[in-house]
Amino acid sequence: MEALTNRVKPVARKKMTLLERMYLPEVLRGMAITFRHIFKKKVTINYPEKTRPFSPVFRGLQILNRDEEGRERCTACGLCAVACPAEAITMEAAERQPGEEHLYREEKYAAKYEINMLRCIFCGLCEEACPKDAIYLSETFAPANYQRKGFIYGKKDLLIPHPKENPEAYAKAKGNRIAQPQGHGNEK
Amino acid sequence: MHLLAIDWSLLTEKLVLIVVVVLISLVVAMYSTYAERKVAAIIQDRRGPNRAGPFGILQPLADGLKLFFKEEIVPKFSSKFLFILGPGIAMLTAIMIGAVIPWGNKVHLFGRDISLQITDVNIGILYVFGIVSLGVYGIMIGGWASNNKYSLLGSMRAASQIISYELAMGISLIALLMITGTLSMKTMVGQQMDHVWNIFKQPLGFLIFLVCAFAETNRTPFDLSEAENELIGGYHSEYSSMKLGFYLFAEYVNMFLSSAIMVTLFFGGYDIPFVNDATFIHTIGTNWMAVFQGAVFFIKIVLFLFLFMWVRWTIPRFRYDQLMNLGWKVLLPLALFNMLATGSLVLLHQNHWHF
């Protein structure tokens, strides 16, 4: 029969030599190989104690950013929700009341802001769409949860810690990915 | 007049010894499971269990606890009595071998010389062979009682394999027995302490015995009876909970005790190498001597256990026809040749040929 391709290789069914039929030399050779592996470097990383560094372009869990005085930057314009290809973002806007200037940077803010982490594909389009530098993808990922509703992250989960009240947690959450908070947020 | 005088101190002494030997076998078997996983991991460039306790040394406890808490299932159409009897026999026969192994010479306690061997029967090796042959019943009964094709296949494989390899094993030992002239394990160790170890007199016999020991304990490359990828676990595929644990445990106890037998028969048992025992015992006393002997014996056993694991994580399983070929067409003739050669040499030696 003619071969369909020229990549066909006949199976070698040669008889085993006497040494091979004795098994033991080959077994010993194999054992020498495995013995050498005892001294090799382990490739495993002790995960919870040690983590592999993420790449600088890693896109992880979203963060709602605050400005340097700790005011929320989000104005609930809805551009992120529109940009989101997975339709994971919903929000409700509210008007800033007098006396709330230290909480929200502009006169409109997101009263409710939810991201469904089961829908999110971490594409980062929300980050690109945001005119106020209010949403960022951080260097962590969504931890496992026992329930589906645990994956719907509200403002409580997404907001970055207050930079003045809790500077350490703020710095940790900010990571290296987020650019330094700027004055206006429109420079991007 | 007491016709039936019971030596109570002897009885308690033996009882304590039995409990200690059983405990040691079980603990060693327990930690063999840990060692196996660790060795496998290290050979495969992984880390192995390291979460339970420092370096994961509590892992066997966690495993045991898990097995105890698992649901115990007896299949509906199984033969219930035999189903429960199977793992029991496997465990019992595994532990019983420990009775004739000399763990050390003797200790001097409470004004008595206590031999560190449960019984020094003068047919020690025959006893071992008898018990090892019984061991196959545990697998056979368990596999048959499960009423499952795979279990039956696994147990059939185990039975035919153990029977085939026992033959070569026995004949390889006959050569050894012709040299030593005794069946008592303790006497053999004594001879090896005075002269060279038997491995130097019977290298081929040892090799055959080693291969057969692998087959008898159902270890890779002879683990066809539990071939996970062909028989979903073989004879114990219907077992769960601690009954499964017993089977797995019996394998490790078997491994430990067959290592002990190989050390006793071929590697001088509790003989401390490169040390003149007579002068050494003078300087440190009987009891410390026994401690050292026990430790040396243990080290030798651990080396053998490592060999078992090392081989397991190196080579794949034999095919069934290869297994039978090796047993009947290679090992048996080799063992027969070894026996005849040894026999003729012994005969020449007795007729005043010196070499």
pLDDT at B76 over 80: yes
- CA B311/CA A133 separation, integer angstroms: 60
Give the distance from residue B164's alpha carbon to the nearest chain A alpha carbon, in angstroms.
Answer: 18
The whole-number average pLDDT for the span B29-38 is: 89
Chain B residues with CB inside 8 Å of A30's CB?
314-315
The pLDDT of residue A187 is 42
Q: CA nearest B316 in A: which residue?
A: A27
Q: CA nearest A37 in B: which residue?
A: B43
Kindly report the average pLDDT of chain A as a whole number: 82
- CA A187/CA A125 separation, integer angstroms: 17
- Best residue in A20, A24, A26, A34 for a mutation probing chain B (most B CBs within 10 Å): A34
Confidence of residue B355 (pLDDT cuts 50, 70, 90): low
Confidence of residue A183 (pLDDT cuts 50, 70, 90): very low
pLDDT at B6 over 80: no
- For residue range B102-154, list pLDDT tens digits in order: 887 777 777 777 777 788 788 888 888 888 888 888 888 888 888 888 888 88
B314 close to A (CB below 8 A): yes
Residue B268 CB partners (closer than 8 Å, separation 6+):
B189, B192, B193, B197, B198, B300
The pLDDT of residue B135 is 83
Helices (H), B70-148: 80-96, 124-145
Give the distance from residue B45's alpha carbon to the nearest chain A alpha carbon, in angstroms.
Answer: 5
Pairing type for strands A152-153 and B112-115 reads unpaired
Higher pLDDT, B74 or A185: B74
Q: CA nearest A48 in B: which residue?
A: B51
**Cross-chain Cβ contact B314/A23 below 8 Å:** no
Specify the amino acid at residue B238: E
CB-CB: which of B43, B47, B315 is closest to A38?
B43
Nearest in space to B157 (alpha carbons), one of B321, B316, B312: B321
The pLDDT of residue B2 is 62
Kindly report the average pLDDT of chain B as a whole number: 84
Q: Are B251 and B213 in contact (CB under 8 A)?
A: no
The pLDDT of residue B1 is 53
pLDDT at A184 over 80: no
pLDDT at B5 over 80: no
Question: In this prediction, does ipTM exceed 0.95?
Answer: no
A29 close to B (CB below 8 A): no
CA torsion angle B88 B94 B100 B103 (round to 10): -120
Nearest in space to A61 (alpha carbons), one of A149, A122, A144, A126: A122
pLDDT at A112 over 60: yes
The enclosing H or E element of A39 equals none
Give the domain ranges of chain B.
2-48+71-354
Helices (H), chain A: 18-21, 24-38, 79-83, 125-129, 155-158, 167-174
The pLDDT of residue B244 is 87
pLDDT at A107 over 70: yes
The pLDDT of residue B282 is 73
pLDDT at A185 over 60: no
pLDDT at A188 over 50: no
- For residue range A27-59, list pLDDT tens digits in order: 888 889 888 888 888 888 888 788 788 787 788
- CA A143/CA A150 separation, integer angstroms: 10
A35 close to B (CB below 8 A): yes
- CA B70/CA B234 separation, integer angstroms: 20
B40 close to A (CB below 8 A): no
The whole-number average pLDDT for the span B12-21 is: 86
The whole-number average pLDDT for the span B10-18 is: 85
